[in-house]
Amino acid sequence: MPADNRYSDADIAAVYRVIYERRDMRHFLPDPIAPEQLRRLLAAAHHAPSVGFMQPWRFVRVRCPTLRAQLHQLVEQERLLTAKALREREDSFMKLKVEGILDCAEVLVAALCGQRDQHVFGRRTLPEMDLASVSCAIQNIWLAARAEGLGMGWVSLFAPEALKGLLDMPEDSHPVAVLCLGHVATFYEQPLLQQAGWAERQNLDELIFENYWNTPPCR
């Protein structure tokens, strides 16, 4: 008989609870995060699965208040451009809170590092595999933060080249996310965009095919 690798029922329930109760947070309290707690979250990212055990990502911890204000301005510029691109939904978009850079305890910029060509596994035919690796690292932080009662928000509204210049990043690096971490008064009962009536989560059955594209699973 194979070894029993299954977690206990309580542990399994805790894992799924974290997954389902995690939220993309935008409202934060000013309280600082303890250094040892932040270290645990970064260690969780460091232990994320990545293709070929490569870790083609870096995190920049933005602590300087002036730099954080400049980062906020970059996001605000892109928010206005995004609103205009949405046309008929511009007004409703402008009412959404899309970041918490000035309010959260910690700001981390997640980026693909320079000289990623040395990370060969999977990249010869699928160069986006390094993006999959950094996404795994981000998700680990997100889940660990929720388990510890901290909120995290993923901000994607910024011009990558402008952000690279602001943080003095290498030419062949690429920022992919601004992460806001911090204490929150409460977690949203539903994802914020759903709560605001902006969008609904797609039906799972519509996203799963069997054998061939657009062929639903047999019942």
Angle (CA) 114-25-149 rounded to 5° is: 100
Cα dihedral: 28, 177, 167, 76 (round 10): -60
Does residue 122 or residue 92 have the better pLDDT? 92
Q: Can you give the residue ranges of every domain in the chain?
A: 23-186
Dump pLDDT digits (tens) for 106-132: 999 999 987 776 666 667 778 788 888
CA distance 111 to 143: 19
Q: Which of 38-47, 99-108, 118-127, 133-142 has the lowest mean pLDDT?
A: 118-127
Mean pLDDT of 18-36: 96
Side-chain half-sphere of 207: how many Cα atoms within 13 Å?
Answer: 4
β-strands 57-62, 174-183: how paired? Answer: unpaired
Angle (CA) 137-138-141 rounded to 5° is: 90
User: Is the predicted pLDDT of residue 51 greater than 70, yes or no?
Assistant: no
Quickly state the pLDDT bin for 52 (edges 50, 70, 90). Answer: low
CA distance 151 to 147: 10
Maximal C-alpha separation, the chain: 61
- Distances, alpha carbon 164 to alpha carbons 45, 71, 73, 173, in Å: 22, 11, 14, 8
pTM of the predicted model as reported, rounded to 2 decimal places: 0.90
Identify the architecture of domain 23-186 in CATH: 3-Layer(aba) Sandwich (3.40)
Instruction: Give the pLDDT score at 114.
Output: 78
Dump pLDDT digits (tens) for 145-185: 999 999 999 999 999 999 999 999 998 899 999 999 999 99
Three-class DSSP labels, the chain: CCCCCCCCHHHHHHHHHHHHHCCECCCCCCCCCCHHHHHHHHHHHHCCCCHHHCCCEEEEEECCHHHHHHHHHHHHHHHHHHHHHCHHHHHHHHCCCCCCCCCCCEEEEEEECCCHHHCCCCCCCCCCHHHHHHHHHHHHHHHHHHHCCEEEEEECCCCHHHHHHHHCCCCCCEEEEEEEEEECCCCCCCCHHHHCCCCCCCCHHHHCCECECCCCCCC
